[in-house]
A and B are shown apart, each in its own frame.
Chain A
Amino acid sequence: MMTCREMVEFLTDYTNGELPSEQLRIFEEHLDYCPPCIDYLDSYRTTVRLGREVCHDPDGPPPGDAPSELIEAILIARRVEVSGSR
C-alpha cells in the first residue's frame, strides 16, 4: 500500500512514464481510493503545463526577431572594448 507521501514522491516519475510496473500498479491503486491525491495529481499536471507555457508569450515579438538597435549596440560595445584595449 502506498501512502500519500509516497505518491507525491513518485509524481514526477509517474508523469514521465518512468515508474516500474509494480510501483505503477500500487500508485494507481492508491489513486483509486484517495480523491485528495487525484486532486493533487491534477494540480501537479496543471503546474507543469503552466511552467512550460507561461514563458511562451503569444502577444510578444516573434521569436528570433532581433531589433537592429540591439545588433548595433552589441557591435558598438565590442568596438569600444577593442579600442580600449589598444
Chain B
Amino acid sequence: MTTTNAVRDAREEAEFVGRLRAGDDGAYETLVGEQVGRMLAVARRILGNEEDAHDVVQDAFLSAFRAIDRFEGGSRLSTWLHRIVVNAALMKIRTRKRRPETSIEDLLPTFLEDGHQELSPVEWKKTAHEVLESRETRAMVRGLIDELPELYRNVLILRDIEDMDTKETAELLEVTPNAVKIRLHRARIALRTLLDPHMREGTGE
C-alpha cells in the first residue's frame, strides 16, 4: 500500500485531530496509511530487524491512539508520532540486551601520565567499505552498537543514524544539548574501541 504524504494546514490539522479524538474510524485509517511507511523506515533503521520493527510500529500506533487526548497540537501529528516510534524503538533495544551493561569508562581509552595512550593505536587494515559490503559484518557492527551503554547508544542512534540535530536529540531524550555532545563523542569513541579487534586485520588475512 502506498502512503500519501498529505500536508494539512494548521486548520485542517486541528480538524483532523478533532476527528481522531472523537474516535472517527476513517480518520484513524487515514492516519495509519499516511504515517506507517515513515515510521516503519525509522524502526527498521534503529532496530535492523523486520519483526522487531513491525512490533514497535504497532506499539507506537497503539500508544498514540491511547494518548490522542493528550496531544496538544504544539507540533505536527507526524512529529509527535515520530517521537513515539523513536522512543519505542530505543526501548525495544533495551529489552533485547541480555548481558549486563558495560560501563562507558571500560570502553574509553586509558592514558599514561605523559598523556600517551596506554595501548598505542594500531592502523586499521580493514576499510569501512569492506565491512559495509558484507551482510555478516554489517550485522556484527549493529551488534556492537547494541552493546554500548544505553545512554550513549541512544545518542549515537539519534545523531548519527537518524540524523537528528543536537537540539532535537536533546529534546527527545530530555537532556541538555551539552550532554548530547559529550555522550555522542564518548559513544563514538566507545564504538571505536569495540570495533578495534575486528578491524585491525584486512579481509583475507
Contacts and interface: CB of A to CB of B under 8 A. Distances in A.
Interface residues of A, number: 45
B160 A66 contact: no
Nearest to B38: A64
A78 B65 contact: yes
Interface stretch (B26-34, B70-78, B80-88): B26-34
Interface stretch (B11-19, B97-105, B137-145, B170-178): B137-145
Interface in B17-50: 23, 28-29, 32-33, 36-38, 40-41, 44-46, 48, 50
Interface in B179-198: 181, 184-185, 188-189, 191-192, 195-196
B92 interface: no
B84 to A, nearest CB: 13
B195 A70 contact: no
State which size class the interface on B falls in. 35 or more
Interface string B47-73: 010100010011001100110000000
Contact of B199 (A40, A46, A67): A46
Contacts of A55: 45-46, 48, 142, 161
A6 interface: yes
B121 A43 contact: yes
A70 B196 contact: no
Interface of A: 3-6, 8-9, 11-12, 36-37, 39-40, 42-44, 46-57, 59-61, 63-68, 70-71, 73-75, 77-78, 81-82
A74 B196 contact: no
Contact of B33 (A12, A56, A71): A71
Between B3, B40, B121, the greatest number of chain A beta carbons within 10 A of the residue's beta carbon is seen for: B121
A67 B32 CA distance: 12
Contacts of A54: 131-132, 138, 141-142, 145
B96 interface: no
B111 A49 contact: no
A71 B36 contact: yes
Given A8-B109, A51-B156, A81-B66, A57 B44 contact: yes
A66 B3 contact: yes
Contacts of B46: 55
Given A63-B44, A75-B32, A46 B127 contact: yes
B44 A12 contact: no
6 contacts: A5-B117, A8-B117, A42-B124, A51-B160, A66-B40, A75-B28
B58 A77 contact: yes
